[in-house]
A and B are shown apart, each in its own frame.
Chain A
Amino acid sequence: MISLDINGRVHQVDADPDTPLLWVLREWLGMTGTKFGCGIAQCGACSVLLDGQVMRSCSVPAGSVGTAKITTIEGLSPDGSHPVQQAWLQHDVPQCGYCQSGQIMAAVALLQEKPKPTDADIDEAMSNICRCGTYNRIRAAIHTAAGNGQG
């Protein structure tokens, strides 16, 4: 049994400790907001927060998480009211939407670390792939969420 603190609630999961956190979230707990894109920490679709740090959950063994607090897209706000979600709404960011859970989680982590990120900060932190190419709206939404007065 693995014990995981997810979005403020502790879950007991009967999975092999090597199972990636992504698949424990999706298949054992039915929390499908976190997406599978590559399985090798390249695309960022599976991004979640571990004690506030953004991690690519496809490459984090569930057994290694320990007591770290996990935040997924489902735990960001009960109703989509988180400032980053609101900024995404304002800029009509998503197209297909599949990568956006991961993009939002990466942006939340960036803004926690750097409340007023520059374009260079965004380039460096936001390495998640979006095949629809919504990057410029993501950038604008991050500036809006930061109150940077752009976008």
Chain B
Amino acid sequence: MSSTMQMNRRRFVVSASAAGGGLALGWLVPWGASPAMAQDVMHTTAPTGGGAEVGVWTVIAPDDTVTVRIARSEMGQGTLTGLAQLVADELDADWSKVRAEYVAPEVNLANKRVWGDMSTGGSRGIRASVDYVRKGGATARAMLIAAAAQRWGVPAGECTAADSVVTHTPSGRKLRYGELAAAAAQLPPPADVAVKKPAEWKIIGKGVKRLDTADKLTGKQVFAIDVMLPDMLSAAIAQCPVFGGKLVRFDADKVKGMPGVRQVVTVDEATVAVVADKWWQAKTALAALSITWDEGPNAKVSSASIASFLQEGLDAKDAALGQRKGDVAAALAGAAKTVEAVYGTPFLSHATMEPMNCTARFTGDKVEIWVPTQNGDASLAAAAEAAGLPLSAVKVNKLHLGGGFGRRGQQDYVRQAVLIAKQVPGRPVKLIWSREEDTQHDFYRPVTQCKLTGGLDADGNLVALHLRLSGQSILAYLAPSRMVDGIDKNMFQGLLEGELGYMAVPNLLVDHAVRNTHVPVGFWRGVNANQNAIYLECFIDELAHAAGKDPLAFRRSIMGRNPKHLAVLNAVAEKAGWGTPLPAGVHRGICQFNSYGSYTAAVAEVSVSDQGALKIHRMVAATDCGHAVNPALIAAQVEGSFGFGLGPLLYSECTIENGRVVEGNFDTYQVARMADMPQVETVVMPSGGFWGGVGEPTIAVVGPAVLNAIFAATGKRIRTLPLTHHDLKRT
């Protein structure tokens, strides 16, 4: 089976996957427990506030300020605050004196990655760090208690810690952490420490305010795009609009003498940049450069040709198996009633508010970058590779991200910035992409279609379900080594046992016809969960309708042994008043889904005017992420994820014409705005016992809840997005 149209493998993929593979370096146990570690760890970033390093995760100043080291990236999701809470709770710190700072990637590398993985994606920032950061806090606490016990000449077992104070219980003597830190820092870390039981948590589970708000209200927060350095130049970039095309020529003479222009730089075979004193001057000159492109073999590909390519996969014989249970073909043949539907979703751009940018300074034997990255390790590797220097020659300054959504796990813009800086040695160069470059050179959410076939028995029970995906695999493009037997398991997100809420259906088949296009694809907040949730949960609604059953009752009937799925479903139904009367013209839709280890459900209330105008009045969302580190921040993430999820439902798509993305800016690539937002009510219902993700899972339930409500309001099934393609007018 030829399933690849024209793959366009770019060199930067190598950097990203090399870093993802762990840089082939040793790892220390990342809570500082190994006795050898005290010697192993060369000392680290100079803490900005001063103070002593107690263990590797905390720096404690004489005034009791605790600085918690953060390895993951903050892009709005609140991980910085959540991780600090985890450490501070185990440390028994006074939360009012806790702050946070990034670990520099080169310091992590030089210390055998003692702070663990820097990659920030897959809603893993908290849940993949919880064990070692809590042990880091507990280790520091034990060292502070040991220092106090030593000073008093008492057994450590007679001392307790709370609110950044150690107390010798029998005598009532007290010492502040700030008074103990210098001595504690000299002690060997204990070999192992126990972490608290959930009932003992004081800071974990509290809805404390974010640590990073104040500077975001005054313009003081420095994002990478704001970095100002002495002698800095700026660069604007043009990349071949057709993926897989090449740069043929440009006319540098046309821009010589334009204000501020310093140099025109060939970045790689498909990219040219103008370097100028100011970015505005570089961008102005770039437009005058008369660039000729060789558009290459993909110049005739369109959304229509891609749709046909995928459509063929819906009935293709060969498909990668996700899961099989029973005999779907036989059950469908024997069903009293069968229902079939085809759904589809388009390519999407991430559209972070802060466009791609990176500042780089190359000085022959060293390179330093200032970057908004979701993966500091990968940025370091990409910079080293582009500079042609060893990893140890790179310094990475991580700054808060103006949005990430999965885009900034890729390192193309880092590589470009370094390649440009290499040609202007000694001076820092800030590369900024225009919004148009950003929209038209993304790693897009892949295009997929889905054919669903369901069989009902005479009583309206679901006896068979076949879910056939056809479309592009992210791993095939970005990380083929992570595929197993040629299968990209991510394609089935939310649809396999362990996630699927309908395992009680006796005959089940989930498979995927791989249909890769020439369009670069990547991880877009929610990855495949958002699309799969629409396919599954809208079709379940179709089946309920065909069975003549209430959508909530029908779902309950096929939940089987999925009590956590059922619990969130019931929670939204109850909060939204499922089954109770609504104002005239207002209708409800419901759905549930599981992804990133969290259980989610939603109810939408919508009305559709006679002219077809959709109004989403209210949405209720429930999420069970096991343990909730900060319920207030979780609620904020859920609310925000609804704003994020409404864009693709209502407006957003990347259309392919002549091999390139048509949409360029927010006038054509439209996203949700204030007036689109419904009232959002969140139910955070942590059931404990596991750590689920938060940043992504609830996006998935936005689309199906609204689409099912639209059906209730209009009788129309919307099976392709965005809604701009559909007329909801009463007919």
Contact = CB atoms under 8 A, between A and B. Distances in A.
Are the chains A and B members of one assembly? Answer: yes
Interface residues of A, number: 59
Interface string A91-122: 01111111111001000000000000000001
A34 interface: yes
Contacts of A89: 213-214, 217
Contact of B639 (A31, A45, A80, A133): A133
B402 A133 contact: no
A23 B642 CA distance: 33
A21 to B, nearest CB: 11
A96 B667 CA distance: 22
Given A42-B666, A97-B212, A133 B225 contact: no
Interface in B433-492: 434-435
Interface string B635-663: 01101111110100000000000000000
A132 B76 contact: yes
A96 B402 contact: yes
B435 A37 contact: yes
A54 interface: no
Contact of A136 (B218, B354, B401, B639): B639
Tell me which of A19, A23, A133 has the highest count of chain B C-beta atoms within 10 A of its own C-beta.
Answer: A133
Interface string A57-98: 000000000000000111011011000010011001111111
Given A27-B234, A39-B665, A135-B674, A94 B217 contact: yes
A50 interface: no
B318 interface: no
A16 B280 CA distance: 10
Interface string B206-221: 0001101111111111
B520 interface: no
Interface residues of B, number: 61
Nearest to A30: B228
Given A34-B219, A138-B674, A39 B435 contact: yes
Given A28-B278, A97-B221, A36 B632 contact: no
Interface stretch (B55-63, B121-129, B675-683): B675-683
A73 B618 CA distance: 33
B355 A130 contact: no
Given A27-B280, A38-B666, A129 B222 contact: no
B148 interface: no
A13 B666 CA distance: 30
Interface string A120-151: 00111011111111111111000000000000
Tell me which of A32, A43, A88, A98 has the highest count of chain B C-beta atoms within 10 A of its own C-beta.
Answer: A98
B672 interface: yes
Interface string B61-97: 0000000000000011110000000000000000000
A114 B685 CA distance: 39
Nearest to A88: B217
B177 interface: no
A39 B283 CA distance: 11
A40 B278 contact: no
B707 to A, nearest CB: 19
B673 to A, nearest CB: 6
Contacts of A135: 643, 672-674, 677
B279 interface: yes
B636 A131 contact: no
A52 interface: no
Contacts of B78: 95
A76 B218 CA distance: 8
Nearest to B432: A36
Contact of A72 (B219, B673, B675): B219
A5 to B, nearest CB: 18
B226 interface: yes
B632 A92 contact: yes
Contact of B403 (A23, A40, A96): A96
Contact of B218 (A37, A85, A122, A138): A85
B114 interface: no
B353 interface: yes
B348 to A, nearest CB: 12
A145 B311 CA distance: 53
A79 B78 CA distance: 23
A127 B676 CA distance: 10
A56 to B, nearest CB: 12
Contacts of A99: 353, 402
A124 B675 CA distance: 7
B278 A27 contact: yes
A23 B675 contact: no
A32 B405 contact: no
Nearest to A142: B674
B219 A32 contact: yes
Given A80-B214, A92-B210, A33 B76 contact: no
Given A127-B673, A133-B643, A134-B640, A98 B217 contact: no
A85 B217 contact: yes
Contacts of B401: 96
A95 B76 contact: yes
A133 B640 contact: yes
B213 A92 contact: yes
A61 to B, nearest CB: 11
Contacts of A76: 218
Contact of A123 (B353, B632, B666, B675): B675
Contacts of B76: 94-97, 132
A131 B353 contact: yes
B612 interface: no
Given A95-B77, A131-B353, A137-B639, A33 B220 contact: yes
Tell me which of B218, B404, B642, B667 has the highest count of chain A C-beta atoms within 10 A of its own C-beta.
Answer: B218
B534 interface: no
Nearest to A79: B218
Contact of B352 (A97, A122, A131): A131
Contacts of B671: 129, 131
A42 B665 contact: yes
Interface in B621-641: 632, 636-637, 639-641
A99 B215 CA distance: 13
Contacts of A94: 76, 210, 212-213, 216-217
B300 to A, nearest CB: 29
A73 B212 CA distance: 17
Given A92-B213, A136-B639, A40 B667 contact: yes
Nearest to A90: B209
Contacts of A92: 209-210, 213, 632, 636
A33 B219 CA distance: 4
Contacts of A28: 278
Contacts of A39: 434-435, 665
Contacts of B641: 133
Interface string A40-53: 10110100000000
9 contacts: A32-B225, A36-B225, A37-B435, A126-B673, A129-B666, A131-B352, A133-B677, A137-B639, A138-B674
Interface of A: 16, 19-20, 23, 26-28, 30-40, 42-43, 45, 72-74, 76-77, 79-80, 85, 88-89, 92-101, 104, 122-124, 126-139
Given A36-B225, A94-B217, A132-B643, 10 more contacts: A38-B666, A43-B353, A76-B218, A104-B217, A133-B641, A133-B672, A133-B677, A135-B643, A137-B636, A139-B674
**Which A-B residue pairs are the 3 nearest by beta carbons?**
A33-B219, A133-B643, A98-B402
